[in-house]
Amino acid sequence: MQALTLIVILPLVGFLINGLAGNKLGQKAVAVIGCGLPILSFAITVSMFMLLMQTGEARIETVYTWATVGETSFEIALYFDRLSAVMTLIVTGIGSLIHIYSIGYMKEDASFARFFAYLNLFLFFMLLLVLGRSLLVMFVGWEGVGLASYLLIGFWFEDPVNAKAGKKAFITNRVGDAGFLIGMFLLYNALGTLDLDRINSAFLAGPVAVSASLVGVFLFIGATGKSAQIPLHVWLPDAMAGPTPVSALIHAATMVTAGVYMIARLNGLYLHAPEASTLVAWVGAATAFFAATVAIVQTDIKKVLAYSTVSQLGFMFVALGVGAYGVAVFHLLTHAFFKACLFLGAGSVIHALSGEQDIRKMGGLAKRIPVTFWTFAIATGAIAGLPPLSGFFSKDEILWFALASERGGSVALMAVMAVTALMTAFYMFRLLWLTFMGASRMDHEVEHHVHESPFSMTGVLMVLAALAAVGGFIPIPHFLEPIAPLPKTLESMQAYHVPLIGLAIALGVAGLVAAAFVYRGDLALPKRLRESFSGLHALLSGKYFIDELYENLIQRPLHWISEKVFLNFGDRRLFDGTLNGMARLANASGGVLARVQTGSLHLYILLVMIGSFLALVWSWAHG
Amino acid sequence: MDKAQLLLSLAVAMFAIGMVGVIIRRNVLVMLMCMELMLNGVNLSLVTFAHQSGTTVGAVLVFLIFVVATAEIAIAIPIVLMLVKRKQTLDPAAYTDLKG
């Protein structure tokens, strides 16, 4: 079997074994299979990556011809170039680490095997998504990760809240998928192919029969669903109902970046779609800004991280929008490192506190769980953009291209992003302070049980923290230059390049200092602030009431129409009415005809006799 | 009135009595007996006509009909017995279960 196929298939094998026979295998075997196969995938990916570096040629493997329609055929083909190599490394690498972490985290869970089966299923679809050569294969992966995400958000489905969150994620994504599909139809109609490399070269070669911006906007609608951008961002914070490793793997490091990957993949198309790119940039900026403001007031440790993920994805879309595709993937990589570390750290904290997620009931954990604290602190520094940690490099590049790119960079865009970066640093250090610093606010019972997590968890945290620390030195934008060249920068802005680095550092430090100042001591200051800005606080902690808006705008009218029009009129009156009417008609005519059948033998005989007599008379008369 | 006319009148009378009996009596056994009466009325007319025409075919046919009628009764009586066993009555009106 070919190598790329093997990378994709191995997790599927794990899913089948653990999914079908997991309960009989015992925890140890499940863990070995569930983690071993992704690690094997990762190893093959590394060797393929080495090969790619030597030959420098993209590798294409055709697995199966799906359908042949006239001249064109739809193939399941895998495509391995620099961009998909980076993505595959992230997916299998971080994926394997999180699998290992899950052994410790899910140890007590009764559905241990089911969890690993789902995680492997997710990896399979995610690899199909990033390795697929055509949009069609990508779409299969795209839907598949949605399914895996749904299954894992609702993993503890006994609680209806979790099941509801899973449904919300799935349905919200369907809205985006409609856009994705329309984009695909337009592309196929104009080009006759859905292969990503052919689409890019077709757009780069010259005029195409379809407006690139139109296609770009539709595909971006798909991306807003999967990557939780305004207006379809509402599902991601609720998705935190799933187990924490799931939040780390699916809802931070990999799946939610699928939209970013898709747009970076189709950079040839988006280069010719300036209007769509502007939309991407500004939607990204708006999302980054609003999500950051909401994150400042959240009190659930995972919700803070969820909004931070939405915000960071906004950063990536800004980079995509100004044409710096390599930078977006760079931030995707560093974000995968530090956000996975943060989520898994949060999982470790939750584990230590026997399930407590409210940061108002934490505090003072730094000395009690030191490994978690230090790894969490490094990742926080990375996301806040403190040099030389990884987030600093990628975020600084985004700020620079938001300011100076010839493809839509502007001072306004940069200013929004700079303010967001400041808020990012502030809410992350607020989280760090409330969780680990100051005096303990834990319940006595919980405090008694605080314990550091097992090595399978802390070891993974240390690896991720190390990656979050040094990941910024991987020159991704340069590495991707052959596929996605960086945009030219404006001459007039060159002078600001170095000061901008100073600004980025200043923002990170300012966030740190502000958070440390506000949340020091007995937390009297944040309480005063909350009281003096109570209106703003209510707006933010209500998440701008977007869920309520959607409920009143979409859910209620839909419910009303379903109930009144479809159920009461359509189903009950029209369909049931027609059928019941026909049944009543048959019944009534039967009643009339049944009178003939009296059941009286004597009457029958009399009638037979009369009939015979009449027949005789008739035959005599006509004889 | 010659002999043939007398016999034919008797045959018609037997048939009519049998028919009325089948129609008005509420006892299955009596109804069966009345049916036999009708059959024999027909037989009588058959024999009479045969005699009148001077052939033996009619008389032979009557013997065949006797055989068939015997077989028929041999089936009909057990059926009646089974029905009576079930409902403890000879009234055919009790067996209107299939009536809509």
Q: Say what the pLDDT of residue B1 is.
A: 65
Q: Does B100 touch chain A (CB under 8 A)?
A: yes
Question: Is B22 close to A602, i.e. CB distance below 8 A?
Answer: yes
Whether omega for the bond prior to residue A231 falls within 30 degrees of 0, making it cis, is yes
The CA distance from A109 to B12, in Å, is 96
Instruction: Point out the least confidently predicted range of A77-81, A429-433, A521-525.
Output: A521-525
A388 has a pLDDT exceeding 90? no
**Each residue of A250-274: pLDDT tens digit?**
888 889 999 999 999 999 899 988 9
**Each residue of A196-230: pLDDT tens digit?**
988 988 988 878 888 889 999 999 999 999 999 98
**Each residue of A117-173: pLDDT tens digit?**
999 999 999 999 999 999 999 999 999 999 999 999 999 988 899 999 999 999 999
Q: Does A55 touch chain B (CB under 8 A)?
A: no
Indicate which of B38, B96, B98 best probes the interface with A, i.e. most A CBs within 10 Å of its own CB: B96
Contacts of A567 (CB under 8 A, 6+ apart): none
Contacts of A233 (CB under 8 A, 6+ apart): A224, A287, A291, A310
Average pLDDT of chain A to the nearest whole number: 90
The CA distance from A255 to A173, in Å, is 12
Closest chain A residue to the Cα of B99, Cα to Cα: A599
Question: Is B99 close to A605, i.e. CB distance below 8 A?
Answer: no
For A17-73, the DSSP string reads HHHHHHHHH-HHHHHHHHHHHHHHHHHHHHHHHHHHHHH---EEEEEEEEEEETTEE
Q: Say what the pLDDT of residue A372 is.
A: 92
Q: What's the gap in Å between the CA of A579 and the closest CA on chain B?
A: 22
**Is residue A78 within a helix (H) or strand (E), and if so which, with residue range?**
strand A72-80
Question: Is B23 close to A590, i.e. CB distance below 8 A?
Answer: no
Q: Which CATH entry fits the domain spanning B3-90: 1.10.287.3510, 3.20.20.70, 3.30.1540.20, 3.40.190.10?
A: 1.10.287.3510
ipTM of the complex: 0.76
Predicted structure pTM score: 0.80
Whether the Cβ atoms of residue A552 and residue A559 lie closer than 8 Å to each other: no
Q: List strand residue ranges (DSSP E) for A318-391, in order.
A: none
Q: What's the gap in Å between the CA of A603 and the closest CA on chain B?
A: 7
**Each residue of A83-98: pLDDT tens digit?**
999 999 999 999 999 9
**Each residue of A428-442: pLDDT tens digit?**
999 999 888 888 888
**Is residue A134 within a helix (H) or strand (E), and if so which, with residue range?**
none
Contacts of A329 (CB under 8 A, 6+ apart): A83, A86, A87, A260, A261, A264, A476, A477, A480, A484
Burial of A621 (0-12, 13-18, 19+ CB in 10 A): exposed
CB pairs under 8 A between A and B: 27
Instruction: Give the N- to C-terminal CA distance of chain A in Å, as an integer.
Output: 93
List phi, psi (to 5°) of A449.
-95, 0
Question: Is B99 close to A598, i.e. CB distance below 8 A?
Answer: yes
Question: Is A609 close to B19, i.e. CB distance below 8 A?
Answer: yes
Q: What's the gap in Å between the CA of A594 and the closest CA on chain B?
A: 6
Helix (H, G, I), strand (E, B) or coil at A77: strand
Question: Is B93 close to A599, i.e. CB distance below 8 A?
Answer: yes
A317 has a pLDDT exceeding 90? yes
What would the mean pLDDT of B10-16 be, rounded to a whole number? 94
Q: Say what the pLDDT of residue A63 is.
A: 87
Residue type, A358: D
**Nearest CA among A329, A339, A326, A212 for reference residue A279:** A212
List phi, psi (to 5°) of B47.
-65, -40
Tokens of A351: 């584990």
**Each residue of A462-475: pLDDT tens digit?**
999 999 999 889 88
Q: Say what the pLDDT of residue A192 is.
A: 85
What would the mean pLDDT of A387-414 be, rounded to a whole number? 90
Q: Does B10 touch chain A (CB under 8 A)?
A: no
